[in-house]
Structure 1
Amino acid sequence: MQSVRDQQSIITKVREVLEKYEPRLGEINQKIWSNPELAFQEYDAHDNICAFFDSLAAEGYAVKRHAYGVKTAFEVSYTHGQTGRVVAFNAEYDALPGMGHACGHNLIATSAIASCLATTEAMKTLYSDSIGFTVRLLGTPAEEGGGGKLQLIEAGAYKDVDACFMVHPFPILAGAPDLLSSGSDSTQYLANNKVEVTYTGKPAHASAAPWEGVNALDAVVSAYVNISMLRQQILPTQKIHGVVLRGGERPNVIPASTTVEYYVRSPTKKTLEPLTERVLKCFDAAAAATGCDVEYKWEPSYLDMKVNKPICDSYTSAMNAMGYKTISDAAGQEGGLSGGSTDMGNVSYEVPGFHGGFYIKTDGVNHTPQFTAGAGSEEGFKRSLYCAAGMAVVGCRVLADERFAKAIKADFEKAA
């Protein structure tokens, strides 16, 4: 398995599988892209992907709908033999409000489906007589908000997984290098605390008797100013940003209740904690200054990505062997993006994980309508399949190469 000849034999089979399924993968991709669904509402995506694998039941694929107690999650698996290692591929398919697939989750889902198929069929052809193995596709809802993977972690979806893979699209920007993908975009993903803050004051007539009121909007303004000043004194790698969800009802009524939502991000979960404490002081100070009560509602926290070097290096090698220009780490590349967060980071703390990046042509960055258009392009779809091939080659190595699997585990444990 470690020779170039062995890698090439896997590449040949993987490409053959992807060519066979490309028309059907294109249909699935367009169905998801043209019918964007928000977090935990991805019913059609769930049903379409499950129906696709139902049609392959004779090939040995088993489908679990509404998996792990999450209504729009699913699990597709193929198992050969009684024992063996397990590789998993994460499919995301939720969209953004008002923008559709402005982060390209249709391409993430498509690449994961394709990798599952290619890994399974390559292993069946090349290694089914010698080893047992399991290939798993996990449908992971609500990455954009809600932390679907955290629910799957809690329910045990990853407990027996030896390595977990996914890739994420980014824009090709002016001045960026001529790359198809990067083996690691971990530095782009920050640990993230998300909080909804509600201030409660006292209503009054804003003109006739404003002194009778306690202005909850003043608390919002004060908190906003406090945090804006704090942002001047934090590291360039740390981010704080928010929006006003509710600022009052009428101009002639002193607002009695207001709500803001903020994200607090830092490179690691260790550095996120003290930054979050500083932000909370800004919120608390606003409450004290205005006489309002304050309540906090926390969303699931996203962790930073733990890089697994053996996986990243193997992916980079496989992609370059197939002629797809790929580097191991895109950190610092001109035109690259940084500052986002993902619940795949939480998965990478549970099992060895891979979250590569690939680049598509688009007139805008992620989370813009222009990126939505790029995510629906034929070239974007083709590039997702190229990366699917790379993940499948590495997936086969995890399942068939004992030495490689041990190196992955050792690197994961070292980084704990």
Structure 2
Amino acid sequence: MASPTFNQLRDLVNARIDSLSLSLHQDINKKIHANPELAFKEFFAHDLISSYLESLGFKVQRSSHELETSFDSSIGAGGRQVVFCCEYDALPGIGHACGHNLIATSSIAAFLGAAHALVELKLPGRIRILGTPAEESGGGKAVLIDNGAFNPPEDIAAAIMAHPLATHSLNRIGAEYSGLAGLIFLASYKFRVEFRGKNAHAAGEPWNGVNALDAAVQTYTNISMMRQQIRPDERMHGIIESGGQASNIIPDYTRMSWGVRAPTLERAEKLFQRAKACCEASALATGCTVEIIQTPTYANLRANETLCKAYVEDMAAIGEQVHLHQDKPFTASTDMGNVSHLVPSFHGAFAVPTAPGVALHSPQFATAAATHEGHDAAIKCSKGMALLALRLLVDEDTAKAAWADFELPDDIE
């Protein structure tokens, strides 16, 4: 692409996003943050975003792809398409402690900035924004894939989004960066375990009971002991969600929630099988029955070199220093990993200022996600993502290179 043309795209994108920044802060960012909703129950955010897009003249398909809290809106026709993924679910008890209010803000802003340039310059191609609920639990993107939201994948030049991280997390990689292009996450198997036994009076006739809590405790102990024999880049973590009703009743039902993570799906599958054996052994030892209920598996997040390099270049043009990629994955997971195994994907990160040591999934990060500084970081990131989308639509070489990188095998053992 000739430099003047790309400068023109940048000017159109930046001006449009800057003009909408205040309304995005007040009408989207702050309202989603103040009204946290859990997986597949994001009705407020779904309606809020849909109405906002409609107020700007976009047609929105509400409750799209067989999910009540997904939405889909697009502009343009023919040629390649770029999909912005928009997350807006929260965590139980601590709200937007992962900053999904900022993810929604950055994705919406990027979509609106890119759409404006596409219309003004009559560019070929199509730009979409897809509401992707239930990232924290439930695997909304995996469900959307199954329901055809990314079909046909060969028409998609890229799926794009970014995640907030605490500034100190990014600075661990080296210099003081304001963002990271090639975020890498682990694959994750998530599952619930239900044990069923038999009630009895815990003092009067305990011999007539079959203790489902013993099975849960034994499973927790088994898996805790197994952690000594897993690799440093693997994780296993769980809780007892239901442990009984009263101390003088032997519980006939308990429920646990578990996650196991590894750098690849193959390694995560092996780890899951070991955890499953721990559950089955506990059931056998206590005389309980066991049922293991899997939720959608999160694939490892793949970084696309072409998309990452283009984003770093575009962010540098607006004065932002963005790190290209990690050497080792963050020990976290996302259902965007599933998308990255289907189409070329960009999942970057932008820095949100916090006090030292503040981590994701903490009340302190939820507070940081509501700040003006957090919003400003999301807006800067949105400009880079919008330019990345436009580059893919107008530059055949970039689009082909992104697909070529996508087709390369993972180099993670």
Q: Does 1:267 align with 2:263?
A: yes
Question: How many corresponding residue pairs?
Answer: 401
Q: Does 1:145 align with 2:137?
A: yes
Equivalent positions of 1:34-73 (< 5 A) are 34-57=34-57, 61-73=58-70
- Provide the residue aligned with 2:189 in structure 1: 193
**1:78 equivalent among 51, 55, 75:** 75
| Partners of 1:278 and 1:37 in 2: CA distance | 33
CA contact (8 A) 1:244 1:260 kept: yes
- Which amino acid in structure 1 is aligned with residue 64 of structure 2? A
Q: Higher mean Cα deviation, 378-387 or 35-44?
A: 35-44
CA contact (8 A) 1:192 1:272 kept: yes
- Provide the residue aligned with 2:111 in structure 1: 116
| Partners of 1:5 and 1:234 in 2: CA distance | 53
- Which amino acid in structure 2 is aligned with residue 185 of structure 1? L
CA contact (8 A) 2:210 2:288 kept: yes
- 1:216 to partner: Cα distance: 1.4
| Partners of 1:310 and 1:362 in 2: CA distance | 31
Q: Does 1:211 align with 2:207?
A: yes
- Provide the residue aligned with 2:16 in structure 1: 17
| Partners of 1:402 and 1:415 in 2: CA distance | 23
| Partners of 1:113 and 1:211 in 2: CA distance | 60
- Which amino acid in structure 2 is aligned with residue 11 of structure 1? R
Structure 1 moving runs of 4+ over 6 Å: none
Equivalent positions of 1:157-196 (< 5 A) are 157-159=149-151, 160-173=155-168, 176=172, 177-186=175-184, 189-196=185-192
| Partners of 1:291 and 1:391 in 2: CA distance | 55
* CA pair 4-330 structure 1, distance change in 2 beyond 3 A: farther
Alignment deviations for residues 322-363 of structure 1 (CA, whole Å, 9 cap, x no partner): 11110101446xxxx922111111111111111101110123
CA contact (8 A) 1:7 1:318 kept: no
- 1:385 to partner: Cα distance: 0.7
SS at 1:78 equivalent: strand
- 1:62 to partner: Cα distance: 2.1
SS at 1:271 equivalent: helix
Q: Does 1:317 align with 2:313?
A: yes
- Provide the residue aligned with 1:293 in structure 2: 289
- 1:375 to partner: Cα distance: 0.4
CA contact (8 A) 2:167 2:178 kept: no
Q: Does 1:401 align with 2:400?
A: no
Alignment deviations for residues 144-185 of structure 1 (CA, whole Å, 9 cap, x no partner): 111111221112111242211000001122864411101111
- Provide the residue aligned with 2:386 in structure 1: 392
| Partners of 2:379 and 2:197 in 1: CA distance | 54
Alignment deviations for residues 81-127 of structure 1 (CA, whole Å, 9 cap, x no partner): xx21100101101111111111000100010001101111122334x
- Provide the residue aligned with 2:250 in structure 1: 254
- Provide the residue aligned with 2:25 in structure 1: 26
SS at 2:316 equivalent: helix
- Provide the residue aligned with 1:328 in structure 2: 324
- Provide the residue aligned with 2:238 in structure 1: 242
- The two structures, once aligned, show a CA RMSD in angstroms of 1.6
- Provide the residue aligned with 2:407 in structure 1: 413
- Which amino acid in structure 2 is aligned with residue 79 of structure 1? G
- Which amino acid in structure 2 is aligned with residue 286 of structure 1? S
| Partners of 2:95 and 2:246 in 1: CA distance | 32
**1:370 equivalent among 364, 379, 383:** 364
CA contact (8 A) 1:306 1:415 kept: no
Which blocks of at least 5 consecutive residues in structure 1 are unaligned? Answer: none
Q: Higher mean Cα deviation, 220-229 or 207-216?
A: 207-216
Alignment deviations for residues 240-286 of structure 1 (CA, whole Å, 9 cap, x no partner): 00000111122112222111111011111011111111111111111
| Partners of 1:251 and 1:408 in 2: CA distance | 59
TM-score (norm 1): 0.93
Equivalent positions of 1:216-235 (< 5 A) are 216-235=212-231
| Partners of 1:53 and 1:216 in 2: CA distance | 50
| Partners of 1:109 and 1:390 in 2: CA distance | 15
- Which amino acid in structure 2 is aligned with residue 305 of structure 1? L
| Partners of 1:15 and 1:415 in 2: CA distance | 36
Q: Does 1:351 align with 2:351?
A: no
